[in-house]
A and B are shown apart, each in its own frame.
Chain A
Amino acid sequence: MKKFCVFFLVLVMLLGLVSIASASVPGKILIWCDETRAPVLEEVGKEFTAKYNVPVEVQEVGFGDIRSKLTTAGPAGEGADLIIGPHDWIGELIENGLLEPISLFTELRSKFVPVSLEAFTYGGKLYGLPYATEAVALFYNKDLVPEPPATFEELITIAKGLTNREKGEYGFLIQMPDPYHTFPLLSATGGYIFGENPDGTTNPLDVGLANEGAICGANLLLRLVTEGIQMPGADYQTVTGLFNEGKLAMMISGPWVIAGIKEAGVNYGITKIPSIDGQVAKPFVGVQGFMISAFSENKILTRTFLTDFVATKETMLKLYERATRPPAFLPALEEVSANPDIKGIAISAADGIPMPKIPEMASVWGSWADAIELIVNQKLGPEQALKDAVEYIKSAIQGE
């Protein structure tokens, strides 16, 4: 018996070695997507199979793992034909030679929100079929704030009146130390991440996070702390938790918290982020979309699947139902634009700017978060903190 077990073990191990299956095989579309969207694509895939007799397989992969999995599996010939992800992945994926450009007919192009196509364009070529946009916005508890503030001065006044930290009541919070959620404060007065070259491409050496406007925004952030509104240790769980308990009147957050708020039964509203010094606060806009692998054996087939079966009102609405985001497909957007959640997010996103997608962004997040942390913990002045961060970002990008 023992011997048998040994044999068996060895055999299993060898089988493990042998079964290196090649995933993208000619004549079958393989899709990697997260569990939220998988059911929709499975359904659409069945329609495709029924019509053309070509199998479509949907594999669930954790949302955060899709990019890294394609990076390792793609060149080894084991990647999917089609993946789902946000547009700011494409810079890295293209630099790694993993994405195939998608050409769309003008007629189909005109059915998409222009900024969503722009977000998926890199070096003049389109690399993704967008389906949803998202951006942070001002979430407010209607029971505590009947009329949302239009300016940040108003917001500070309201928030001060509602903050009682001894009792655990808060007027307004942003999660810390988070560059993504604080960016609207910096961008309103003229802060930006990367500037543009004359030809419209991104210039990674022009970092606008320590210019006058950005410092002005960071001072506002500091003011929120010194006036006792913002607590420095507020992280994602704290902020959303307090809002869901009804103990937080306003927060800057994104569509991913909507389901939780609904479940908690808070009477909430979503609107654009208040203006700062009379200027519009511009959040980052993220666009979700479909991308075709450069190592796909079925590029034309996959593109046909996308243009004929995914870029339809029905599919786009089904995707919308799984996760509440404003669709990037105009016919679907028109259909759902009456939904107040979508209206709020869409209004905020309309002012936004697409998240930079060049791979140099990797060096920005960490040191930028450090700078914000130092500012809200009052360890360093906004100007110095941001200047240090920019200096580091630049030297990291230059490969020191």
Chain B
Amino acid sequence: MIKKFLFSISLKIIFLGILDALAIWSIITFIFDGYYWVGGILGLGVIIINYIFLTERSYPLRYMVPGLIFLVIMVIYPIFYTIFVSFTNYGTGHILSKKQAIEQFETQVYLPKDSVSYTFQAFKNDSGEIKIIMFSPEEEAYLCENKEIIVKVDLSDTRFLDQDKDGIIDQFNGYKKLDKIQIIQKLNELQNLRFKKDEYIIKLVSLTEFKVYGKKYQFDPSLDRLLDLENGKIYHNIEGYFISEDGERLTPGFRVNIGFKNFIRLIKSPQISVPFLRVFGWTFLWAFLSVVTTFTLGLALAMLLNDPYLKLRKIYRTLLIIPYSIPAFISCLIWRGFFNTEVGIVNRILNDFFQVIIPWLQDPIWAKVALVIVNLWLGFPYMMIISLGALQSIPPELGEVAAIDGASSWQQFKKITFPLLLISLAPLLIGSFAFNFNNFNVIYLVTQGRPAIPGAGTPAGATDILISYTYRLAFEGARGNQWGLASAVSLIIFIIIAVISAIGFRQTKALEEISKSV
């Protein structure tokens, strides 16, 4: 017993030790890289884990920890990040942080009018230090004194040795000449060298030459502006861009906080506000129809499969679950083909038997019908499975009693089975509603929100739901990706769904109250 106890204690300490060592190492790395937040949160997390595993009182928490960590990483963090992004201009042109953008500007150079190129030879001594001899176009030689200064030298000086007499210096003061391969291996050191020449800098441009450049921009932190050193122009920081007085804008821009601007844009822009009600209406109808149709079919099949007199039940059940096991995006694309107006199988059959051709994906109403059919195919097996489970939990005696009392089977279903089913299934139906409210895949893969609406003046198609419309706005509007705006819309959608679900759950509570009195 004690042996086992000792074993588990030592195991615990070893693991916690490894964990803490890794954590401390990574926290130090994070803090040195400037990620104070990440380091801090990691540190806090590790302290909590240590506490949980070292105290007896928090024993039950040990089993919750993995789940909680995943919850934080995959649910809570994205939510907060979305909220954070919705208040910024994050998107095309504003990807970098301000620090990164300034760094890029400050490393930019321009070619002065009297710029010259220098060929060079690199030398290395035994301790790995590098020296450069540069040759101007006039064949004057320069030697780098240290990392910044070059001075003119006379190569006929005796310290420069040309052992093979080919006119190229091989060695001086213990420094030996590097060949091309060695230069490539030392490239990382060479490319960071910056020598001063008057107000200019000399830096490596290729494997064979250094060149004179002028520094292009200088950032002035006190006035928050960028100065063009070449022509004296001043660029002010305006909403994530450096813009000059005459309106010239420098790229790249950077991320800044823009307050409620994304939300104000959502309300003010006619492209967004005009179709909003129509899109919202269809989204609601779509989610509602999806739940009702799949649940009706699923429940009907479940009732059928639950009937003990039905033969080969297991085979039917397996077959009916197949649509659920095929990846939805494959099914969607296949259905898209089925619904093709001219060559699709649906219209071929309709044409052969009834001589009708339906413009499935070209007409707004039929496109919606097609979507509901596709989602019915995708969704009924889930409803069937949960209904089967719930049906089995209803005691068969209830039905028998009702039958003795003279209830018809329809009355039995309506008055006993269905209300009892709803108690356990209602929360799942609400979940299904919320899921279909944001069912981007089906919409995007089958119709892409199309067909377009004539004269709409907005990119919202007839079958666009809120989330697919958000996608269009954020990624097909203006100039590329607008993650800030997209986050703002998804925040609004989140609030809508939260409200609907809250109301729904309150209703199911009422249902439970009823069931208690049954």
For the A-B complex, the count of residue pairs with Cβ-Cβ distances under 8 Å equals: 190
Interface-located stretch among A179-187, A251-259, A372-380: A372-380
Interface-located stretch among A131-139, A143-151, A326-334, A363-371: A363-371
Task: Give the contacting residue for B343; candidates A54, A238, A301; CB below 8 A.
Answer: A238
Residues of chain B lying within 8 A (CB to CB) of residue A237: 337
Interface-located stretch among B62-70, B225-233, B303-311: B62-70
What string of 1s and 0s marks CB contacts (under 8 Å) between A9-44 and chain B? 111011101100000001100000000000000000
Q: Is the CB of B95 within 8 A of A97?
A: yes
> Is B451 among interface residues, defined by CB-CB distance under 8 A?
yes
Residues of chain A lying within 8 A (CB to CB) of residue B478: 360, 362-363, 396-397, 399
What string of 1s and 0s marks CB contacts (under 8 Å) between A56-92 and chain B? 0000000000000001000100000000000000001
Minimum C-beta distance from A218 to chain B (A)? 14
Q: Is the CB of B188 within 8 A of A297?
A: yes
> Is A168 among interface residues, defined by CB-CB distance under 8 A?
yes
Task: Give the contacting residue for B472; candidates A97, A177, A366; CB below 8 A.
Answer: A366
Give complex CA distance A379, B73 in Å.
Answer: 48
Interface-located stretch among B200-208, B276-284, B324-332: B200-208
Residues of chain A lying within 8 A (CB to CB) of residue B8: 3
Minimum C-beta distance from A27 to chain B (A)? 6
Task: Give the contacting residue for A392; candidates B65, B344, B458; CB below 8 A.
Answer: B458
What string of 1s and 0s marks CB contacts (under 8 Å) between A99-142 and chain B? 00001000000000000000000000000000000000000000
Residues of chain A lying within 8 A (CB to CB) of residue B400: none
Given the known inter-chain contacts A7-B15, A370-B461, A392-B457, please indicate yes or no for A400 contacting B97, CB distance below 8 A: no
Interface size class of B (residues with CB under 8 A): 35 or more
Give complex CA distance A13, B476 in Å.
Answer: 36
Q: Is the CB of A233 within 8 A of B454?
A: no
Task: Give the contacting residue for B452; candidates A14, A300, A370; CB below 8 A.
Answer: A370
Minimum C-beta distance from A295 to chain B (A)? 9
> Is A174 among interface residues, defined by CB-CB distance under 8 A?
no
> Is B181 among interface residues, defined by CB-CB distance under 8 A?
yes
Give complex CA distance A3, B52 in Å.
Answer: 13
Q: Is the CB of A98 within 8 A of B22?
A: no
Task: Tell me the residues in window 328-377 of chain A with beta carbons closer than 8 Å to chain B beta carbons.
Answer: 358-360, 362-363, 365-367, 369-371, 373-374, 377
Give complex CA distance A388, B459 in Å.
Answer: 11
> Is A154 among interface residues, defined by CB-CB distance under 8 A?
no
Task: Tell me the residues in window 221-274 of chain B with beta carbons closer than 8 Å to chain A beta carbons.
Answer: 251-253, 269-271
Minimum C-beta distance from B146 to chain A (A)? 22
Residues of chain B lying within 8 A (CB to CB) of residue A4: 11
> Is B117 among interface residues, defined by CB-CB distance under 8 A?
no
> Is B412 among interface residues, defined by CB-CB distance under 8 A?
no
> Is B417 among interface residues, defined by CB-CB distance under 8 A?
no
Give complex CA distance A231, B362 in Å.
Answer: 11
Task: Give the contacting residue for A373; candidates B342, B344, B451, B477; CB below 8 A.
Answer: B451
Task: Give the contacting residue for B26; candidates A3, A18, A75, A391; CB below 8 A.
Answer: A18
Minimum C-beta distance from A96 to chain B (A)? 4
> Is A304 among interface residues, defined by CB-CB distance under 8 A?
yes
> Per DSSP, are chain A's interface residues mostly helix, strand or loop, or mixed?
helix
Minimum C-beta distance from A374 to chain B (A)? 5
Task: Give the contacting residue for A6; candidates B46, B62, B481; CB below 8 A.
Answer: B62
Minimum C-beta distance from A382 to chain B (A)? 12
Residues of chain B lying within 8 A (CB to CB) of residue A397: 478-479
Minimum C-beta distance from B423 to chain A (A)? 34
> Is A232 among interface residues, defined by CB-CB distance under 8 A?
yes
Q: Is the CB of A95 within 8 A of B96?
A: no
Q: Is the CB of A95 within 8 A of B472?
A: no
Q: Is the CB of A367 within 8 A of B93?
A: no
Q: Nearest residue in B to A297 (C-beta to C-beta)?
A: B188
Give complex CA distance A168, B481 in Å.
Answer: 41
Given the known inter-chain contacts A97-B104, A379-B454, please indicate yes or no for A14 contacting B23, CB distance below 8 A: yes
> Is B31 among interface residues, defined by CB-CB distance under 8 A?
no
Task: Give the contacting residue for B479; candidates A13, A298, A359, A380; CB below 8 A.
Answer: A359
Task: Give the contacting residue for A10; candidates B65, B73, B270, B359; CB below 8 A.
Answer: B65
Q: Is the CB of A6 within 8 A of B92?
A: no
Q: Is the CB of A366 within 8 A of B206?
A: no
> Is B218 among interface residues, defined by CB-CB distance under 8 A?
no
> Is A164 among interface residues, defined by CB-CB distance under 8 A?
no
Q: Nearest residue in A to B107 (C-beta to C-beta)?
A: A294
Task: Give the contacting residue for A94; candidates B19, B187, B204, B251; CB below 8 A.
Answer: B251
Given the known inter-chain contacts A71-B95, A298-B187, A373-B450, please indicate yes or no for A11 contacting B62, CB distance below 8 A: no
Task: Tell me the residues in window 88-127 of chain B with beta carbons closer than 8 Å to chain A beta carbons.
Answer: 92-93, 95-97, 100-101, 104
Given the known inter-chain contacts A13-B66, A300-B187, please indicate yes or no for A238 contacting B93, CB distance below 8 A: no
> Is B144 among interface residues, defined by CB-CB distance under 8 A?
no
Q: Nearest residue in B to A237 (C-beta to C-beta)?
A: B337
> Is A226 among interface residues, defined by CB-CB distance under 8 A?
no
Residues of chain B lying within 8 A (CB to CB) of residue A6: 62-63, 65-66
Q: Is the CB of A304 within 8 A of B343?
A: no
Max count, chain B CB within 10 A of own CB: residue among A10, A177, A371, A397: A10
Q: Is the CB of A299 within 8 A of B269?
A: no
Give complex CA distance A304, B184 in Å.
Answer: 9
Minimum C-beta distance from B106 to chain A (A)? 13
Give complex CA distance A399, B101 in Å.
Answer: 23
Give complex CA distance A379, B66 in Å.
Answer: 56
Give complex CA distance A238, B451 in Å.
Answer: 18
Give complex CA distance A103, B359 in Å.
Answer: 54
Q: Is the CB of A362 within 8 A of B96?
A: no
Residues of chain A lying within 8 A (CB to CB) of residue B26: 17-18
> Is A223 among interface residues, defined by CB-CB distance under 8 A?
no
Give complex CA distance A391, B96 in Å.
Answer: 31
Give complex CA distance A95, B478 in Å.
Answer: 14
Q: Is the CB of A300 within 8 A of B206?
A: yes
Residues of chain B lying within 8 A (CB to CB) of residue A95: 92-93, 251-253, 479-480
Residues of chain B lying within 8 A (CB to CB) of residue A359: 92-93, 479-480
Minimum C-beta distance from B169 to chain A (A)? 23
Residues of chain A lying within 8 A (CB to CB) of residue B452: 369-371, 373-374, 379
Minimum C-beta distance from B365 to chain A (A)? 13
Q: Nearest residue in A to B35 (C-beta to C-beta)?
A: A20
Given the known inter-chain contacts A7-B11, A92-B92, A370-B461, please indicate yes or no for A395 contacting B187, CB distance below 8 A: no
Give complex CA distance A4, B66 in Å.
Answer: 13
> Is B361 among interface residues, defined by CB-CB distance under 8 A?
yes
What string of 1s and 0s marks CB contacts (under 8 Å) between A168-211 and chain B? 10000000010000000000000000000000000000000000
> Is B18 among interface residues, defined by CB-CB distance under 8 A?
yes
> Is B161 among interface residues, defined by CB-CB distance under 8 A?
no
> Is B455 among interface residues, defined by CB-CB distance under 8 A?
yes
Q: Is the CB of B188 within 8 A of A298?
A: yes
Q: Is the CB of A370 within 8 A of B459?
A: yes
Give complex CA distance A370, B448 in Å.
Answer: 11
Q: Is the CB of B69 within 8 A of A13?
A: yes
Give complex CA distance A235, B104 in Å.
Answer: 44
Q: Which residues of A contact B (CB under 8 A)?
A: 3-4, 6-7, 9-11, 13-15, 17-18, 26-27, 51-54, 71, 75, 92, 94-98, 103, 165, 168, 177, 231-235, 237-238, 242, 294, 297-301, 303-304, 358-360, 362-363, 365-367, 369-371, 373-374, 377, 379-380, 384-385, 388, 391-392, 395-397, 399-400
Closest 9 CB pairs of A and B: A97-B252, A370-B452, A359-B479, A366-B476, A26-B188, A233-B341, A96-B95, A380-B454, A18-B26
Name 20 interchain pairs, CB-CB below 8 A, sorted by A: A7-B15, A10-B65, A27-B185, A27-B188, A53-B181, A71-B95, A95-B92, A95-B253, A238-B337, A238-B340, A300-B204, A362-B478, A363-B476, A363-B478, A363-B479, A369-B452, A379-B451, A379-B452, A380-B454, A392-B457
Supply 8 further A-B pairs (C-beta < 8 A) apart from A18-B26, A391-B457: A3-B12, A97-B252, A300-B205, A359-B92, A366-B472, A373-B451, A374-B452, A392-B459
